[in-house]
Structure formats: structure tokens, C-alpha cells
Amino acid sequence: MRTITEEIRNDIENMIFDYYAEECEVDRSEITMQSNPQEELGGDSLMFVELIELASDKYNLDVKLQSVGKYMLKAPLNTMKDVVDVFCKIYQYGNDIVNL
């Protein structure tokens, strides 16, 4: 398991917010931790897949989409905070996220 620092968490949060702002054509300042990524921002599963690939490249992560998908059965993404949390978990646990 990798340790996640406050700095890395902030970095992950910025990466996610920047990505959603650009892809959903929403002003970055309008996105909050309480925003619903699908209903409010217009995000979708393909975007989420791409974001996982971006994060994998950026942080040198080894994670299968299916592992993340299984984890999300237990932790659905209703807010941007949920999205940030799942990416922090991916950073920490990689494929072992499926066992959480």
C-alpha cells in the first residue's frame, strides 16, 4: 500500500477538477466537492475510464478498470468528493482496491 500525503491528495483533486472542467465545459470555480459528476456536470463512464488512464500514467499506477468497477459497486460516485476519494484509494491500493 502506498502512503498518500495531503500534497498528493490535493494534486489528485486538482487533476480531477481540471479534467471535469475541461471535458464538461464548466467553469472550474463552479465545481465543488458536493457537485454530482453525472447529473450536474454531465460526466459519463467514458470520461471516468479516461481519467483512470490519465492517473495511471501520471502516478505510475497498476490498476485494472474492472478492479475499480468492482470497488465502485460498494462505493458509488454521487459527488465529486466520492470521485476524489476513489482516486486516492486507487493511488494507495492499486488493484487491491477490489478487496476493500
Partner 1 sequence: MYQKAFLFNGIGSEPERLLSKMTKDMVEKFKQYQFEAFSLVNLNTDIEKNYPEDKLIAKWITSSVCDKVVFEKFIERGIFPDIGAGYSSGIVSICAAFSVFTYEFAYKIIMSNKLTMNALKANNKNLDMGVIIGLDVNFVRELISKFHLENKVFIGSINSKVYTLITGEADSVELLLNAASDEGAMKSIKMNVGISYHCPLIAPYCLEYNSFCATGKYNDPDYPIISVYDRRIMTSADDLRQENCINVPSPLRWDLTLCRLEELGVTEFFDMSADCTIKRFSRCECKSTKIFAHTDI
Residues making contact with partner 1 (CB under 8 A): 25, 44-50, 53, 65-73, 98
Residue among 1, 3, 24, 2 nearest 83 (CA) = 24
Minimum separation from the CB atom of position 29 to partner 1 (A): 21
Which residues, 6 or more positions from 44, have their beta carbon under 8 angstroms from its beta carbon?
38
**What value does the CA radius of gyration of the chain take, rounded to a whole number of Å?**
13
Cβ 71 to partner 1 shortest distance, Å:
8
Closer to partner 1 by CB, 8 or 42: give it. 42
Of the pair 10, 50, the CB lying nearest partner 1 is at 50
